Amino acid sequence: MNKEKGFETRVIHEGYDSSYHHDSLAPPLYQTSTFTFENAKQGENRFAGEEEGFIYSRLGNPTVAMLEKRMVSLEGGEAALAFGSGMAAVSAVLFSLTKANDHILCSQGVYGCTFGLLQLMNEKYNIDHSFSAMDSEEELLNKIEPHTRCIYVETPINPTMQLIDLEMVVSVAKKKGIPVVVDNTFCSPYLQRPLELGCDIVIHSATKYIGGHGDVIAGIIVGKEDVIATIKMTTQKDIGGIISPFDAWLLLRGLKTLPVRMDRHCESAEKIAELLKNHPSVEKVIYPGHSNHPQYWIMKKQMKKPGGMISFTIKGTKEDSQKVMDELNLIKIAVSLGDAETLIQHPATMTHAVVPAEFRKKMGIEETLLRLSVGLESVDDIWSDLNQALSKISVGTATENV
């Protein structure tokens, strides 16, 4: 299926041809570790790459291949690889692009475990990194070093919801010949497609919006044929962080409703963000859909919609923000995001607890910051739960009842 078909069609049909699978409507689950050869010669030919066909599920599996093909189409790339977690994907990419004494330039904020991985790469393999606001060409040029081998970007940045202008980053990186890697987890390909803007590799924690139902941990990367082939034959095959066929099957199912789910996530988040802004217990709401968001113009430029994630600080202390969480009934306290259930977490003590306090402060992760992943429940129910919880802290008055 080619790109002329709409996104909403490709999430359902791309990568699967039922005529090869007994006309099964749903893609079959090839839950197998290995594949048998008709004879020794066929085995030899497959290993030599002289004959197409599967060998062993760490090297490829039909159900996983369907998922990868679908993701290639959705992100507008040439090839994709699925992994057993988002972090398996991140590490396979970063270890593939770097060797000892190289340098990675990273956006000001990154997912907590990506931050941890960068520390580990530095301590064990002397692969250095630094952080940049990436808010202008000059800033970026200043931070690029002679040994920079990768520019690693999250946008929106988790959990501070700052945005980075990908076109600007690409224009600088191209001049320097440095690949740009984007963690697109918060957007999914429905809202943002970095490869179409010239970026080189897109990474997803498919655990989040791609799966969408909170029942699988997985990662996916998409990019050009040659770079993906290298990762497949090195840091994927030999380190081995592959996805299980069953998890790939769940993701194929989840993807079918991605646009429908994203539309609802975004619609509800816009409403909740507006209501939060006016709640007396709330100090500040950070949502890319607000026209006073400092990078609202970037949202307009590179995102289809502002997304389903909201960060906000409350008036009060760290304990007050924890009390708000404890007072919630419908909304669940949990890390992760992009699920049908609305989830709330406290980045300073949860997802970003590994980040040193001083650096957290620099990133803008305050002790009263809460991150909300707006789910698919009735938006009235989500708001009334939030509203009653926020009104229980002393600074908040209960004047804002719906």
Ligand X SMILES: *Cc1c(COP(=O)(O)O)cnc(C)c1O
Footprint on this chain of ligand X (rule: CB under 6 A): 85-87, 111, 113, 154, 158, 183, 185-186, 205, 207-208, 217, 219
The residue (of 98 and 188) whose beta carbon lies closer to ligand X is 188
DSSP structure string for 29-44: ----SB---SSHHHHH
Minimum distance of ligand X from residue 186's CB (angstroms): 6
The residue (of 154 and 165) whose beta carbon lies closer to ligand X is 154
Residues forming beta bridges with residue 106, ordered by sequence position: 131, 152
The residue (of 370 and 389) whose beta carbon lies closer to ligand X is 370
Closest residue to ligand X in the complex (CB) = 86
The residue (of 30 and 83) whose beta carbon lies closer to ligand X is 83
Which stretches within 257-346 are classed as H helix?
Answer: 258-277, 296-302, 318-327
Distance CA 15, CA 225 (A): 17
Residue 63 dihedral angles phi and psi, to the nearest 5°:
-65, -40
**254 within 8 A of 110, measured Cβ to Cβ:** no
Q: Fill in the amino acid letter for 299.
A: M
**331 within 8 A of 383, measured Cβ to Cβ:** no
| Closest to 231 in 3D by CA, of 181, 190, 278, 189 | 181
Minimum distance of ligand X from residue 230's CB (angstroms): 21
Minimum distance of ligand X from residue 345's CB (angstroms): 11
The residue (of 183 and 367) whose beta carbon lies closer to ligand X is 183
The residue (of 15 and 338) whose beta carbon lies closer to ligand X is 338
The residue (of 86 and 223) whose beta carbon lies closer to ligand X is 86
Three-state SS for 61?
coil
Minimum distance of ligand X from residue 106's CB (angstroms): 12
Tokens 């259930």: give the residue: 341
Minimum distance of ligand X from residue 114's CB (angstroms): 6
Chain centre distance of CA 331: 22
Minimum distance of ligand X from residue 382's CB (angstroms): 20
Minimum distance of ligand X from residue 342's CB (angstroms): 16
The residue (of 208 and 304) whose beta carbon lies closer to ligand X is 208
Count CB-CB contacts under 10 A for residue 226: 9
Question: Which is it for the CA torsion 118, 231, 211, 61, positive or negative?
Answer: negative
Structure tokens of 111? 């997912």
Residues forming beta bridges with residue 123, ordered by sequence position: none
The residue (of 14 and 154) whose beta carbon lies closer to ligand X is 154
Minimum distance of ligand X from residue 3's CB (angstroms): 26
Q: Which helix (H) or strand (E) holds 64?
A: helix 62-75
Biggest CA-to-CA distance, the chain: 78
3-state secondary structure labels for all residues of 230-277: HHHHHHHCCCCCECCHHHHHHHHHHHHCHHHHHHHHHHHHHHHHHHHH
Three-state SS for 282?
strand
Minimum distance of ligand X from residue 273's CB (angstroms): 19
